[in-house]
């Protein structure tokens, strides 16, 4: 117990106060309620949040539980990313969108971003941002047309050509420098994003949605990053009334980036020239090739003038059994990464543990799981699958010290 008190004594009271204040606000708890729970006056509690009074270990434990936080989440030494949480909460208030689930999601994104920053500092491996300059929207030009041009330009800048991209989340992180997390958001919301100085763009995509929808949502946020990156946003799937220009740009950018006009048109015409028709089965195959929903592909074909207007609405109203159609067409499912954190984040956590820079308990915290599962993640990550001479799959364990390609082994 004495050792724990010593550790807590080293915490900067101002940083602790900031974290307590953020945790309290995320739960919708007033300072008066926090003071009552703690058994002190409101001025005394306010002094804790301001860093003017050092909280005791017992008070920290009591407040963390009251705010729905683990103790380690409120005693981190690094400065909290106050901009991220406060900005998104302000957006939610302006949109009258605040509820407990959204508040928790905002707090989760804050925690993910801070954990990512901590791992990068531990491993001395900052994520390089490769964003282009922000491009303002032009009131004289249709934002949809601007988005079409921007999507093609971005693909060329990143060397992606015009072919389908399956590992989109990984591409956006490694090639663009976006931090894409998955979390639970209210079902009508596709995602949210905020740009944090010193960390870049962080986004949380609704993991309740199917993979095809998540891909479009992350590209929608990417579109916002191109035209208004310093204005945090919470994006609904459906908005009442006419959408503002930045939302129309983001929608069109997502569609154009994931379904490039040149290759979609080429594949469509290949089918028509071969069969003199383009059937629902062909639409399913084309949507599968680009890893988008059948509805999204139908709307894209309409936009490109390849099918008559209204076909997408007819398909939606007919409630085409997409899953059964894919099975009948024998379309193999695409690999999906449902982890709440990006692959690079997991790699940093695993290697930090392997190099004994973090404990097993810290590893479990970073990976948001129990210790047994954390060990299994490390084992799986450091194990490859190979085929032996008998044609059987077998595990191959990597030895980090013996497999270096840069240093001579002993």
- Evaluate whether 367 touches 349 at the Cβ level (below 8 Å): yes
Dig out the tokens for 122 from the structure: 């531990």
pLDDT at 286: 96
Domain C-terminal end among 236, 258, 280: 258
Do both 93 and 73 map to the same domain? no
Q: Is 153 domain-assigned?
A: yes
Residue 210 shares a structural domain with residue 137 = yes
Domain boundary among 199, 223, 258: 258
In terms of domains, do 109 and 36 share one?
no
For the ranges 14-18, 68-72, 366-370, the one whose mean pLDDT is highest: 366-370
68-104 as b/e: b if 16+ CB within 10 A: ebeeebbbbeeebbebbbbbbbebbeeeeebeeebbb
pLDDT of residue 28 exceeding 80: no
pLDDT value for 1: 39
Are residues 206 and 237 located together in one domain of the fold? yes
Domain range spanning residue 316? 261-328
The answer to whether residue 338 sits within a structural domain is no
Q: Residue 315 falls within a domain, yes or no?
A: yes
Can you tell me the distance from the alpha carbon of 117 to that of 345, in angstroms, rounded to the nearest whole number? 10
Euclidean distance between CA atoms 384 and 395, whole angstroms: 6
* Same domain flag for 234 and 164: yes
Is residue 335 situated within a structural domain?
Answer: no
Q: What is the CATH number of the domain that holds 68?
A: 1.10.260.40
The answer on 150 and 239 residing in a single domain is: yes
| Domain termination residue (choose one: 61, 80, 99) | 80
Q: Is residue 363 part of a domain?
A: yes
Q: Would 174 be classed as within a structural domain?
A: yes
Residues 270 and 182 in one domain: no
The verdict on residue 407 lying in a domain is no
5, 51: one domain: yes
Mean predicted confidence (pLDDT) in 257-277 = 96
221 and 145 in one domain? Answer: yes
∠ Cα 321 322 327 (to 5°): 105
The count of structural domains within the chain is 4
- Residue 168 φ then ψ, to 5°: -65, -45
* Stated pTM of the model: 0.79
pLDDT of residue 136: 87
CA distance 20 to 35: 12
Looking at the fold, whether 210 and 289 belong to one and the same domain comes out as no
Residues 211 and 254 occupy one common structural domain: yes
Give the residue, 15 or 369, on which the prediction is more confident. 369
Task: Write the CATH number for 148.
Answer: 1.10.10.2910
45 and 164 part of one domain: no
Q: What is the pLDDT of residue 71?
A: 80
| Domain membership flag for residue 351 | yes
pLDDT for residue 5 is more than 50: no
Beta strand 200-206 with 179-183 is: parallel
Provide the 3-class DSSP secondary structure of residue 190.
strand
């Amino acid at each position: 117990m004495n050792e724990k008190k010593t550790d807590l004594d080293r915490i900067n009271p101002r940083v602790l106060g900031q974290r307590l204040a953020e945790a309290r606000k995320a739960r919708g708890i007033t300072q008066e309620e926090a003071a009552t729970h703690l058994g002190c006056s409101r001025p005394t509690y306010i002094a804790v949040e301001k860093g003017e009074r050092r909280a005791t270990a017992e008070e920290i434990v009591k407040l963390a539980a009251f705010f729905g936080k683990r103790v380690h989440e409120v005693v981190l030494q690094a400065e909290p990313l106050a901009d991220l949480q406060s900005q998104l909460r302000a957006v939610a208030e302006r949109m009258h969108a605040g509820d407990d689930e959204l508040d928790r999601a905002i707090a989760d994104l804050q925690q993910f971003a801070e954990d990512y920053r901590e791992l990068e500092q531990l491993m001395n491996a900052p994520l390089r941002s490769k964003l282009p300059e922000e491009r303002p929207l032009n009131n004289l030009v249709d934002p949809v047309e601007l988005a079409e041009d921007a999507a093609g330009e971005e693909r060329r800048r990143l060397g992606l050509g015009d072919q389908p991209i399956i590992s989109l989340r990984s591409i956006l992180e490694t090639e663009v420098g976006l931090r894409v997390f998955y979390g639970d958001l209210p079902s009508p919301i596709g995602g949210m994003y905020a740009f944090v100085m010193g960390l870049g763009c962080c986004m949380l995509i609704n993991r309740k949605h199917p993979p095809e929808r998540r891909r479009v949502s992350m590209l929608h946020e990417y579109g916002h990053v191109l035209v208004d990156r310093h204005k945090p946003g919470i994006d609904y799937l459906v908005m009442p009334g006419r959408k503002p220009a930045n939302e129309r740009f983001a929608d069109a950018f997502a569609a154009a980036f994931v379904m490039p006009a040149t290759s979609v048109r080429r594949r469509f015409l290949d089918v028509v020239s071969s069969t003199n028709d383009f059937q629902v089965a062909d639409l399913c195959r084309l949507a599968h090739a680009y890893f988008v929903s059948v509805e999204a592909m139908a709307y894209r074909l309409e936009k490109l003038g390849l099918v008559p207007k209204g076909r997408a609405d007819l398909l939606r109203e007919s409630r085409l059994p997409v899953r059964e159609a894919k099975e009948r067409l024998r379309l193999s499912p695409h690999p999906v990464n449902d982890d709440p954190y990006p692959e690079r984040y997991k790699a940093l956590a695993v290697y930090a543990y392997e190099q004994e820079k973090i404990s097993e308990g810290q590893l479990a915290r970073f990976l948001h799981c129990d210790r047994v599962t954390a060990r299994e993640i490390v084992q799986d990550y450091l194990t490859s699958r190979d085929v032996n001479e008998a044609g059987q799959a077998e595990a191959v364990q990597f030895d980090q010290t013996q497999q270096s390609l840069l240093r001579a082994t002993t």
